[in-house]
Amino acid sequence: MFSSPQISEEQQQEQVSVEKKRIAFETLRDGGVRAITLKEYKLAEDYFVKAIELNSDDEEIKALLAEAYLGENKMEDALKILKPMSEKASR
């Protein structure tokens, strides 16, 4: 019989921490999307900013934050996000 590999308590805690962070990120993302649907752009902005704090590499969240900024008529803030994304996509 094969036994399952043992992982340390520290590794287990790390896995739990990563999972909690993923769930928090997804919850914030989903809340922001619902807020945009309701045209609650400031609320959406708050959700997306917090989500970006958890995962600053997620391009979808950045695009959604730009959409929230556009809904608030914060064109300069939206451009600060969209311009680098556009440059990266055109490479």
CA separation for the pair 51, 46 (Å, rounded) = 9
CA separation for the pair 28, 75 (Å, rounded) = 23
Interhelix angle 59-71/41-54, rounded to 10 degrees, is 160
Task: Report residue 73 as tokens.
Answer: 């008529």
Asked if 64 and 33 touch (Cβ cutoff 8 Å), the reply is yes
Does pLDDT of 5 surpass 70?
Answer: no
What are the tens digits of pLDDT across the range 17-39?
Answer: 999 999 999 999 999 999 999 99
What are the tens digits of pLDDT across the range 48-66?
Answer: 999 999 999 999 999 999 9
pLDDT given at position 13:
87
Task: Report residue 69 as tokens.
Answer: 């900024």
Calculate mean pLDDT across residues 38-50.
98
Q: Output 12 or 65, whichever has higher pLDDT.
A: 65
pLDDT given at position 4:
55
Comparing C-alpha atoms, which of 40, 29, 38 is closest to residue 64? 29
Interhelix angle 75-89/59-71, rounded to 10 degrees, is 150
pLDDT given at position 2:
56
